[in-house]
């Protein structure tokens, strides 16, 4: 196992957990307020959650993706990890702002 891929997988799982919480908060806000802003956040969160669930599936269960990723260059692995970690940082900030 590559450390880069392991970090990316952990980041994707963290993103799913954060997005489940955020979508829950934004869903309640939309039900109460019926505002376009809350609806936009809800749709954005739902789509991002779907993307991250796909990443978790690809990292954990898809053998074709595993073969491609593990046979790939170190740069490919580092790039995938970098994107997942950057997304985690952004979601952590968004969660902090939302729950503050």
Supply the range of the domain harboring residue 46: 3-99
pTM: 0.90
pLDDT tens, residue by residue, 10-50: 999 999 999 999 999 999 999 999 999 999 999 999 999 99
Give the whole-angstrom CA distance, residue 50 versus residue 53.
5
User: Residues near 86 by Cβ (< 8 Å), separated by ≥ 6?
Assistant: none
Q: How many structural domains is the chain composed of?
A: 1
- CA–CA distance from 28 to each of 23, 31, 61, 96 (Å)? 8, 5, 32, 17
**pLDDT exceeds cutoff 80 at 66:** no
Report percent pLDDT > 70 for the chain. Answer: 99
């Amino acid at each position: 196992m590559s450390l880069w891929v392991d970090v990316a997988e952990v980041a994707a799982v963290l993103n799913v957990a954060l997005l489940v919480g955020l979508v829950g908060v934004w869903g309640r806000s939309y039900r109460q307020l019926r505002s376009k802003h809350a609806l936009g956040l809800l749709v954005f969160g739902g789509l991002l959650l779907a993307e991250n669930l796909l990443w978790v599936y690809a990292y954990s269960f898809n053998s074709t993706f595993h073969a491609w990723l593990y046979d790939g260059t170190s740069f490919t692995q580092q790039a995938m990890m970098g994107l997942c970690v950057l997304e985690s940082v952004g979601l952590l900030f968004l969660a902090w702002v939302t729950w503050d």
